[in-house]
Amino acid sequence: MRAFITGGAGFVGSHLAEALLDAGDDVLVLDDLSTGSIENIDHLKSHPRFGYHIDTVSNEAVVAEEIDRCDVVFHLAAAVGVKLIIEAPVRTIETNVHGTEVVLKHAAKKHRLVVIASTSEVYGKGTDIPFSEDSDLVMGATSHHRWAYACSKAIDEFLALAYWKEKQVPVIIARLFNTVGPRQTGRYGMVIPNFVRQALSGGPITVFGDGCQSRCFGYVGDVVQALVGLAKEPKAVGEVFNIGNDEEISIGKLAQRIKTLTNSRADIVKIPYGDAYEAGFEDMFRRVPDLRKIKSLLDWRPRLDTDELLGRVIEYARERSNSYR
């Protein structure tokens, strides 16, 4: 199989590239390095079945050429992270919606399979926990920029499924819940790499809000195996799937757990959302996936629990810290 990965130098994309190469597939990556990093794929450059373009998904000539050469497109290119979404809502909307439009338009010409990475953010302020793929999507007001990402990814889903219905373009929607692992940066507000960095440096560990909000964290290695599995399963076409882990933990307890696992003496400090992001910021209180659909289709289960994935992130952070000394 020849795979084309948009956003392939990003956190999830680089792990996906590794997994595909390990499985014997050919991989071509496209990334403009706006949130990805060339460092994430440095170790892959010498691989005989790997290639890459440093360019944007808006470059239709490049996208068209690589879709023509591939068997499957993994569309991961997106503006991500709460901090980036708040600071650059125009970039968020344009990158997410237009990029998906370009990919689908050219995939339609060659009838290529497209696996689109969506997000648990599309569930918005929903309270029907756990979230199943057919749950209602409950968004906040358009005056709150925080919801721009969720809405843009929901539009991506609508557009992809419209291409499937109207033009028979094979598409699969993967709603990724909070995904964690080595190479993830805290630069755009990702909570675990930020907590780990703060704990290892002596703190303080900064919890936004009251810490009672909860999340479920899935290991990136488990997530990419699910993506690959879906791409190889014909029954997944035209469907939406939650991917992640359903082990729930509050952000306050997460901070304490990281402090314990790192043997840190850092203080845990709570910062109001208005100070951390913007006045009137709205958050999702709980975000828990219903994983029955993907489990029933694939022989797939999340392998790592929260403590195990935290251990891997902490080990990676320590190795990087030592390499700079």
Measured from the Cβ of residue 275, the count of other Cβ atoms closer than 10 Å reads 10
3 state SS of 203: coil
Contact, 235 vs 297, CB < 8 A?
A: yes
DSSP letter for 116, please. Answer: E
Which whole-number Å values give the CA distances from 127 to 93, 204, 289, in the listed order?
25, 32, 12
Measured at the CA of 238, the angle between CA 233 and CA 242, to 5 degrees, comes to: 75
Q: Give the chain's end-to-end CA distance (angstroms, integer).
A: 41
Residues 6+ apart with CB under 8 A from 312: 181, 182, 219, 304
Catalytic residue among 123, 149, 163, 219: 149
Dihedral sign, Cα of residue 189, residue 194, residue 195, residue 201 = negative
Instruction: Please indicate whether residue 123 is annotated as part of the active site.
Output: no
Measure the CA angle with vertex 223, ends 74 and 231; round to 5°: 40
Q: Catalytic amino acids?
A: 149
